[in-house]
């Protein structure tokens, strides 16, 4: 049996905050998030003036994905998709492919003729890799060996179109008929955008969404739709998203709209400025991505608090932590990476497996009295977690020797896993605590 020692609450808090504040200030010379005491607990308060102003921008989420992307392209500049990024093959490979393209389009009199010539060659000569043996999906490999999956088709179409002077970009998403991941292209010819699915030998005029919206679902594109002094925006994660923060101060406000189109996602694809400590999300933001693709977790390492406007119906924040609203109940969504003192929502009634997972900076966890059930591995991989406040009355889930679920009155050795070796578990809130033994 391991006994977890009692710690005077206010002393523990004072020591924790002093260490946290010093380390942040010394490293970045940026003021840390200001914490206050509410009912004996540490809490942060949002600055209401920093939430974005609402407007009458077009609500893309009410449209299907294909139509939403169409609306974005109609607002984008004529240079969209005009630059070849050089990552799909080397310069010499590009030039070799270009020799073929020159031959294919030599008799073309319009851009649409060029597009048809390139599309015709690819659909006639490239065969789909049904066996899944080909791991190389570069444009050059597809051109050289005439075999690819959908990504290889898309990369080759992109490269050949750019050599011919056609605006083009890659799209990734899935085919709605079978929900399988898919890649295709948007190509502009003679001032009109076309949806080109060369893998399946079909294409449509982009404005004819009724012809293809039930066939293809676009999740992301590989070009920037819009850009201003502070941000880059594109179609990413099924929505118009802020994907890059170019400059920002300590407090970052994500815009409500761009070019009359409402922004629905904040999902950065590269590091945001290291000066940012707080992020403010308006009621327009409905997603930060999913577990496999959450840029705020990967590229916002110095952020200590994220706030969501109270008008939001999809998300909420409490104590700087973001929750999704599922059946009107908060479901933990994102704990800021740099947060050291975590107070879970008072609306939570249970902690499921991996509620707190891979949080290297958390030192104190306060589980509110509203939580009545805590599953095994509720906390995992929090190596600096040294102090956990658990409810006075709560059941802890475990399994017996026959792997049947069992409830216990105290935490088991599998409730909080991967924490600091000297982690102390204390019953009660930080104002009324007593030690327990497990």
Strands (E) in 152-212, as ranges, are 167-175, 180-189, 192-197, 202-205
Residues of the chain above pLDDT 90, percent: 78
pLDDT value of residue 178:
87
| Distance between start and end Cα atoms, the chain | 6
User: Does the pLDDT at position 416 exceed 80?
Assistant: yes
Condensed to tens digits (0 to 9), the pLDDT of residues 144-156 reads 999 999 999 999 9
What sign has the CA pseudo-torsion 381, 245, 82, 169? positive
Separation in Å, CA 150 to CA 171, 175, 221: 11, 11, 15
Cβ neighbors of 417 (< 8 A, separation 6 or more) are: 377, 379, 380, 381
The predicted-structure confidence for 317-337, as pLDDT tens digits, reads as follows: 999 999 999 988 889 999 999
Side-chain half-sphere of 81: how many Cα atoms within 13 Å?
28
Q: What pLDDT band is residue 133 in, cutting at 50, 70 and 90?
A: low
pLDDT band at 16 (very low <50, low <70, confident <90, very high): very low
DSSP per-residue codes, 211-266: HHTTTEEEEEESS-SEE-SSEEEEE-SSSEEEEEE----SEEE--SEETTEE--EE
* Cα 345 → chain centroid: 22
Q: Give pLDDT tens digits for 17-55.
A: 333 333 323 333 444 444 443 333 344 689 999 999 999
SS3 label, residue 27: helix
Partners of 307 in the β-ladder: 280
Residues 307 and 309: their CA atoms lie apart, in Å, by 7
Closest to 175 in 3D by CA, of 157, 199, 155: 199
- Cα angle 266, 184, 141 (rounded to 5 degrees) comes to 115
8-state DSSP, 393? S
pLDDT, tens digit (0-9, with 9 covering 90-100), for 114-130? 999 999 999 999 999 88
Q: What is the mean pLDDT of the chain?
A: 88
Q: In the beta sheet, which residues pair with residue 426?
A: 389, 435
Residue of 100, 86, 224, 121 whose CA lies nearest to 164: 100
- What per-residue confidence (pLDDT) applies to 431? 64
Q: What is the mean pLDDT of residues 249-259?
A: 97
List the CATH code of the domain at 77-221: 3.10.620.30
Mean pLDDT of 394-405: 90
Q: For the chain, give me the number of helices (H) and strands (E)?
A: 8, 33
Give the per-residue pLDDT at 295: 95
Weakest-pLDDT range from 1-5, 84-88, 108-112: 1-5
Distance CA 26, CA 22 (A): 6
With residues binned 3-state (H G I as helix, E B as strand, rest as coil), the percentages for the chain, rounded to 5, are: 25, 30, 45
DSSP-derived secondary structure letter, 60 = G
Q: Closest Cα to residue 277, out of 249, 245, 254?
A: 249
Q: Quick one: average pLDDT of 57-78?
A: 94
Q: What mean pLDDT comes out for the span 186-205?
A: 97
Q: pTM of the predicted model, to two decimals?
A: 0.85
Could you count the other beta carbons within 10 Å of the beta carbon of residue 422? Answer: 9
Domain boundaries, the chain: 9-56+240-435, 77-221
- pLDDT, position 37: 37
Q: What percent of the chain has pLDDT over 70?
A: 87
- Structure token digits, residue 108: 């073309």
Please, are residues 150 and 184 in contact by the beta-carbon 8 Å criterion? Answer: yes
State whether residue 175 is helix, strand or coil. strand
405-408, strands of its sheet edge to edge: 350-351, 373-374, 395-399, 405-408
Contact 396, 408 (CB under 8 A): yes
Instruction: State the burial class of residue 228 (Cβ atoms within 10 Å of its Cβ: 0-12, 13-18, 19+).
Output: exposed
pLDDT digits (tens, 9 = 90+) for 258-313: 999 999 999 999 999 999 999 999 999 999 998 888 999 999 999 999 999 999 99
């Amino acid at each position: 049996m391991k006994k977890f020692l009692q710690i005077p609450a206010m002393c523990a808090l004072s020591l924790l905050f002093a260490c946290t504040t010093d380390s942040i200030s010394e490293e970045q010379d940026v003021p840390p998030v200001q914490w206050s005491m509410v009912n004996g607990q540490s809490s942060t308060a949002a600055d209401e003036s920093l939430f974005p102003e609402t407007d009458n921008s077009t609500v893309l989420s009410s449209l299907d994905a294909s139509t939403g992307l169409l609306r974005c392209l109609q607002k984008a500049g004529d240079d969209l998709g005009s630059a070849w990024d050089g990552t799909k093959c080397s310069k010499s490979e590009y030039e070799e492919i270009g020799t073929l393209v020159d031959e294919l389009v030599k008799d073309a009199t319009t851009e649409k003729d060029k597009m048809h010539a390139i599309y015709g060659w690819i659909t006639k000569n490239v065969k789909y890799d049904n066996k899944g043996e080909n791991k190389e999906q570069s444009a050059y490999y597809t051109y050289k060996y005439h075999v690819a999956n959908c990504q290889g088709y898309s990369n080759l179409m992109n490269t050949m179109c750019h050599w011919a002077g056609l605006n083009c970009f890659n799209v990734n998403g899935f085919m709605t008929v079978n929900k399988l991941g898919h890649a295709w292209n948007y190509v502009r010819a003679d001032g009109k955008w076309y949806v080109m699915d060369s893998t399946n030998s079909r294409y449509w005029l982009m404005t004819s969404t009724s012809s293809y919206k039930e066939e293809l679902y676009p999740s992301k594109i590989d070009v920037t739709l819009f850009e201003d002094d502070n941000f880059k925006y594109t179609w990413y994660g099924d929505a118009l998203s802020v994907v890059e923060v170019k400059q920002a101060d300590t407090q970052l406000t994500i815009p409500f709209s761009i070019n009359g189109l409402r922004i629905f996602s904040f999902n950065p694809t590269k590091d945001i400025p290291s000066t940012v400590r707080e992020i403010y999300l308006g009621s327009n933001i409905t997603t930060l991505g999913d577990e496999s693709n959450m840029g705020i977790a990967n590229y916002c390492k110095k952020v200590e608090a994220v706030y969501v406007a109270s008008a939001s119906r999809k998300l909420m924040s409490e104590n700087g932590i973001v929750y999704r609203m599922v059946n009107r109940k908060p479901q933990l969504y994102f704990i800021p990476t740099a947060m050291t003192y975590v107070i879970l929502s008072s609306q939570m009634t249970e902690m499921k497996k991996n509620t707190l997972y891979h949080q290297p900076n958390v030192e104190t966890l306060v589980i509110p009295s509203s939580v009545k059930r805590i599953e095994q591995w509720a906390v995992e991989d929090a190596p600096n977690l040294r102090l956990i406040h658990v409810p006075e009355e709560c059941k802890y889930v475990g399994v017996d020797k026959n792997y049947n679920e069992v409830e216990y009155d105290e935490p088991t050795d599998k409730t909080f896993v991967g924490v600091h070796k000297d982690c102390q578990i204390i019953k009660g809130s930080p104002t009324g605590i007593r030690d327990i033994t497990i």
